[in-house]
Structures are given as C-alpha cells and as structure tokens.
Structure 1
C-alpha cells in the first residue's frame, strides 16, 4: 500500500481528503455507526462498486447498490428522485450514509441526494477520475443540472471525508485523464504556479501526477475551508467556468467538463488582458500550457449568441450584470464586474475556431 497523504479541509465542518491507493479500509472508518450505506455508481464502475459493497457487507453494514446513468446524463432531478425512492424503500435513517463512486457527475449527484434526504445525511465521495479528485469531490458543493443550465440547483453539504484512490487513474481512459488536467491547470493559475512549472518541465507523467493531484487538492482545500458557501473567496475557483458551463449547455452536456474549462480558461485570460488586468505573457501561457497537454483552446465563432445568452444566467451574475473571475497577475485572481458586450465579444474572437 502506498503512503496515504492527508489533506485537511477546515471551516465550519472540517474533514480530510485522503490521497493514496487501496483506501477501502479508510472508507469503513468514515462509515462508523451506519447500519446501511447506499453506493451510487455509473455502470462502467460496477466492479469497483461491487468490491465496495462486499467490503461493507463483511463489516456488517448493509449495502444498497444504486446504479445511475453515466456522466452528466445522471445528474438531474429525475435520477435524484429515483435515488430518494430507493433510500425510502430501504428505510434509510439519519445515521446511514451515501457513498458516491465515480467522477464529478456521480459525486455531485450523491452529495445532493445526501443533502436532501432527511435534510442531510453523511456522505462520502470515492473519486475515481482525475476531475473528481481535484475538483468535484472536494468542497461540499453538490447539485444537479436543469434545462436552464448546469449546477443551478444544489446545496452546500460537506462530506464526512473524501477518498482519492490513485489506482483508479491507472485504467482511466487517456482522454478523461487529460480532461481532468484542465482543473489542475486552473489551480496553477489562480494560486499555485508550481503546478504550471511542473507541467512545463515534466508534463503529467507517472512521476509528476501524484504531486499535481495533491497540489490541486490543497489549493481547493485552502479556498473552501475559508469560504464554504461561496460568499467571496470561493468564487475564484470558477476561473474559466463561466464560459465553460455555457459551452457544456450549448453542447447538450456531451463535451467533457475539462475540455470546456480549457477553452474557458483561454477566454478568461483574454478577457483579463483586454480589460487591462493581465499581462500578455501570462495570458499566452494559458494557451501554451493547455495545448501542450492536448486540451482544446478554441470554439466555433457561430456559437457566440447562444453562449452569451447562457452566461447571463450564470450563478455569479448579479441582475443583468455578468461577473467573471479574471487574473490581475499570476496567482492573483479577482472579479471583473459588468464587462461590456463589446469587451466580451472581443475576448471571444481570441478563442474562435
């Protein structure tokens, strides 16, 4: 067994993020006192979910396996309602636990199901994708998508703990591993430039991946520990996400989140530069780092009207004013409040395919 790294998330409801391999023993500790545990998973992860269920049963905890549609297809209110029906039929109580096994979509769903059941029960995300480990599983943001947009319905509900089993990355399809790196790059630009230096020097190979994961998790832990409910500081984690969420909606959630974030980061850098907030070299570095990893940095010109309309219902918006996270320099995130339509369009010209 590899050494396990513990990253503490502080705040009003502190918990630990565990990074390592073979972490099922730690899962049992987080489920202490539970008579039942619902294990939510997407079909591709059935073998892993079955192994977790068997471990729970051996420990005297009754497992309730609930399979949900894969990726964003499972992240909606109908699927959540199906899960609540299953919990009700199984007699789930306040001391029982929801376990989300999968990438960001499944852990978002599992957390939302747990947040709403009996007005909040324990839950534990077992992140199996890079995106889930460095972003979705950490921070207590839970939610589902609606016709109006992504993550507009949800709750802040911190987990009892987070498990990031690096062994799951060994078999992750390369396209999904690369997509998850967009969130890692984001963390480098908003808080930890050593991430960017490491990627530029070594890429994201076996020798650097664990350090990249741990550094990205530490960035998010520091932010959400200080601001759970996105009252101020936590907004910086949305760097690149305003356009990214709009792309995902326009694409009917068929684009990988990390691919959309990659384009969103290039756009946010262009917006910051054109607003006179960010130097040209740092703006250009966005494109070079992301492109070197094989991530997209452009999107079709014809999509702009739909993207702008979607961004207007972004959760950072205030009334009719759009707000964007931009950089005032490397690792210096700030807010650009109410940019003009002309500025928004000019920045988009720099990411047009």
Structure 2
C-alpha cells in the first residue's frame, strides 16, 4: 500500500477520518475496525461490483455479511431503490449496531447513506468511494438523499459516516468521462475558496487528465481538506456550507430536466459554475476575466461550459425554484465576486437569470 494521507472531519464525538491512498480496499483491519457490530450490508452497483466487491467481502470475513448490487446511474437514486436497501437490511436481520457500507460513486453513497440514516433511526455508515467525484465531494459531509421526479435530492437526511476510505487505485478503472466529471468538483474548491489551488489546477490540468497518481492524490487531499473544514464549521448547511453549491442550482436543474439521461452530475455542475460566474459578471459582482479563466480551465479539462441544446429557460427556472436553498419560493443562488470569493445571493431578478439561461 502506498503512502496514505489522512484528514479528520472535526465534529466532536462524531469526528471521523478521511483516508486517501492506493490499496485501501485491501486494508482489512482498517475497514473491519469501522464495522463494530455483527451485521454489515454492502451497497454497490453492477459496474463496481465485479472489480471490488470480493475484496470488501474478504476484508469483512467473520461478519454477517449482506450485499445489494444495483443498476448504475442517477435514475436509480429513487424511493423504490431506497426500499430495496431497507428490504436487504431486513433480510440480513440487521440490528442497531449494523453498518451500511457504500461501495461506489455518489449515487450509491447518497442512497446507502440515507438508508443508514433511516434503518432503526440510524445505524453506522462507511463510505468507500470509487469515483473521483465521490472522493472529493459526496462521500464527505453526511449529505444523504434520493431524488423525486420533481427534483434532485429532495428527500434525505444529514447522516455522517464513521469513516471515508478513498482508494485512489479505483480511479485506474474509472471511465474517462467519469474522471473528467469529478474534476469539475475539484475546480469548484479553487473557484469558491482557494485561488492558489486554482492556479495549481491550471498548471496541472494535463497531469490530472493523464491520471498522474501524485497529481490526483494532491487534488483529492486539498479538496477534502476544504470540504472537511466547511462541514466542521457548518454541518447542516445554515451558512458557509451553502457555498459548496456553486453551480449546483443550475446543474441540478439541467440534470432533472434531462431526466438524468444527459449530462453527468459533474458535467452539469461545470456548466452551472460558468452560468453562475456569467450571472455574477452580468450583475456587476465579479470581473469577466475570472469568468473567462474558469471557463478556459474547464474546457482544458474537457468539460462542457454551455447549456445543452433543447433545454427551455422557463423549464430550467421552474426546476431551480425547487432548489433546497430557496426560501418561501424565492431563489437563493451561490454567485461569486471573483476567484476564491463565493457568496450567497438572494433576490436575484428572474429576468437576469433568464437572460443567462437564454444566452
């Protein structure tokens, strides 16, 4: 096993580690230490299971072990699939000291975590993210949810994991499009909070696309450090944590309007960040030069920066009004005043939002 980087999400008695390195799925003792009870249910999908499920099962030898292998894709993050996880826990006879283990990307993590939050009013939960996007974003911070036809992540709970093991060797088998989608969330941290990291990303874009192990490990560690700090300061998204949604209000609307069959989450976030930056510049909040830098970096990382054709501005705006940050039906957006300076914006005129969507 290569050098392992370890961070901590500081939440008092509920603090937990984020471990980053190659070969962590083979650390049987480390994983077993986070499964204190007799029962463990691994939730994964058909893309991930052939590569890694047997290794996790071997690490948990001696436990009463169950597994649920789901079809892949955001369209599976539903209340019906949540019911499947509940049924699997019931079939296992899972008691209150059971642990649900999420082995996969953000969809698996969100779904398994929500199930862990609800089974017997809350049981243990371990994240084993296998995509870059999940490593740097969704596996850290305890946001769990499923989607409704009306919008993304509308049913969920805050439920922190007991540990996150980010085995970067799993990125070797990650399709290129999924890797690039994860890089969008990496760019987000530079865009909202860390211009020095943004400079580093500009200098290392090609190395990241080439899956250079050191570059990827550094990008993951810096991203997780930002996420861990923000979560420790604002666990339930009352203030600062909302800034992590830069680009997401636009992005979630795109995903939902496309029926989760178009852009991947990270791709939609890339478009959303550019739209948010353009809106900020239109409103005189931020310089156009920073918007151009953001769009250029995303394009270098082979990510989309414009709305896909065929989407209605009216439909997207209606989706955005169901965003979880909205208050009394009024939109709140995450905009910026330039690189590293994100902010919550209330009462943004709908005409200005529509102008960006229609452009």
TM range (shorter): over 0.9
Is 1:249 paired with 2:256? Answer: yes
Moved more, 4-13 or 158-167: 4-13
Give the CA deviation at 1:301.
6.4
CA distance in 2, matches of 1:56, 1:341: 53
Say if 1:198 and 1:208, in contact at 8 Å, map to a contact too.
no
Give the CA deviation at 1:74.
2.2
Per the alignment, do residues 302 and 67 of structure 1 end up closer, same or farther by CA in structure 2, a change over 3 Å counting? closer
Aligned to 1:342: 351
CA distance in 2, matches of 1:349, 1:86: 46
Per-residue CA distance 1:36-86 (angstroms, 9 max, x = gap): 1100010111231122112212xx112101111212132111111111111
Aligned to 2:20: 19
CA distance in 2, matches of 1:233, 1:166: 28
Is 1:56 paired with 2:60? Answer: yes
Is 1:320 paired with 2:329? Answer: yes
Say if 2:313 and 2:358, in contact at 8 Å, map to a contact too.
no
Give the structure-2-normalised TM-score: 0.94
CA distance in 2, matches of 1:105, 1:281: 35
CA distance in 2, matches of 1:161, 1:333: 29
Following superposition of structure 1 onto structure 2, how do residues 291-310 of structure 1 map, counting pairs within 5 Å? 291-299=299-307, 300=309, 302-310=311-319
Say if 1:301 and 1:349, in contact at 8 Å, map to a contact too.
no
Per the alignment, do residues 199 and 16 of structure 1 end up closer, same or farther by CA in structure 2, a change over 3 Å counting? same
Say if 1:185 and 1:196, in contact at 8 Å, map to a contact too.
yes
Following superposition of structure 1 onto structure 2, how do residues 81-120 of structure 1 map, counting pairs within 5 Å? 81-120=83-122
Say if 1:134 and 1:184, in contact at 8 Å, map to a contact too.
yes
Following superposition of structure 1 onto structure 2, how do residues 1-353 of structure 1 map, counting pairs within 5 Å? 1-12=1-12, 13-24=14-25, 25=27, 26-31=30-35, 33-47=36-50, 48-57=52-61, 60-203=62-205, 204=208, 205=210, 206=212, 207-254=214-261, 255-299=263-307, 300=309, 302-350=311-359
Gaps of 5+ in 1: none
Give the CA deviation at 1:261.
0.3
Give the CA deviation at 1:302.
4.5
Say if 1:184 and 1:195, in contact at 8 Å, map to a contact too.
no
Give the CA deviation at 1:288.
0.6
Say if 1:184 and 1:216, in contact at 8 Å, map to a contact too.
yes
CA distance in 2, matches of 1:192, 1:89: 47
The number of aligned residues is 347
CA distance in 2, matches of 1:241, 1:302: 17
Say if 2:290 and 2:339, in contact at 8 Å, map to a contact too.
yes
Give the CA deviation at 1:195.
2.7
Residue 48 of structure 2 aligns to a residue in which SS? Answer: helix
Gaps of 5+ in 2: none
CA distance in 1, matches of 2:22, 2:282: 44
Give the CA deviation at 1:294.
0.4
